[in-house]
Amino acid sequence: MQEKIICFSLGLSSGDVERGRVSFNESCAAEGELVVVPVTGAMLERSVGDALERVISGSAPDGSNPVLPDLPYRVVVVAALEREQVFSVMRSFKAVLPDPQSLIFAVITETALGWTFRDYAIHLAQEHEEMKARSR
C-alpha cells in the first residue's frame, strides 16, 4: 500500500484541485497517493489535527461545498513524511494553476495541529504578506 500524502485545500475550486492532482499523478505518483480534501464551511472551526485524524482513519469529508474564504490567497496545507513530497505537491499545483504567486503552501506542523483551519489560514496569509514585504 502506498503512503498517503494528505493535503487540505482552501480557496481552490474543485477543478483546481483536480488539475493539481492530475499533475501530481503524472509526474510524482511513485512518491505516494495524493489525497486532497477541500476545506468546507463546517471545517473552518475544526482543528487541523482533528481533520487530519479523520482523514487518516478513513472518515469521509462532510460532503459540503468547499468554502472560498475572504482571503486574498489560496492555501494548500500538506501532511507528508518527506520534505521532497511537499515540494512535489507544490510544483505540481503551481505548474497547472493560474496565478501561482497567490498560492500559499505550508506543511502541517505540531503547532498547526491545534489551530482551526480559519486561524491557520489567517496566520499563513499574514506570514505571506510579511515575506512579500521583506523581499521588496
3-state SS record for the chain: CCCEEEEEEECCCHHHHHHHHHHHHHHHHHHCEEEEEECEHHHCCCEHHHHHHHHHCCCCCCCCCECCCCCCCEEEEEECCCHHHHHHHHHHHHHHCCCHHHEEEEECCHHHHCCEHHHHHHHHHHHHHHHHHHCC
Specify the higher pLDDT residue, 26 or 59. 26
Q: Which domain holds residue 54?
A: 4-134
- The overall average pLDDT reported for the chain is 89
Q: So what's the pLDDT on residue 135?
A: 81
pLDDT(63) > 70: no
Q: Supply the Cα-derived Rg of the chain in whole angstroms.
A: 14
Lowest model confidence (mean pLDDT) among 60-69, 75-84, 113-122: 60-69
pLDDT(105) > 70: yes
Number of domains in the chain: 1
How far is 32 from 79, CA to CA, in rounded Å?
12
Half-sphere exposure for 12 (CA within 13 Å, toward CB):
31
- pLDDT band at residue 58 under the 50/70/90 scheme: confident
Q: Residue 47 in contact with residue 121, Cβ under 8 Å?
A: no
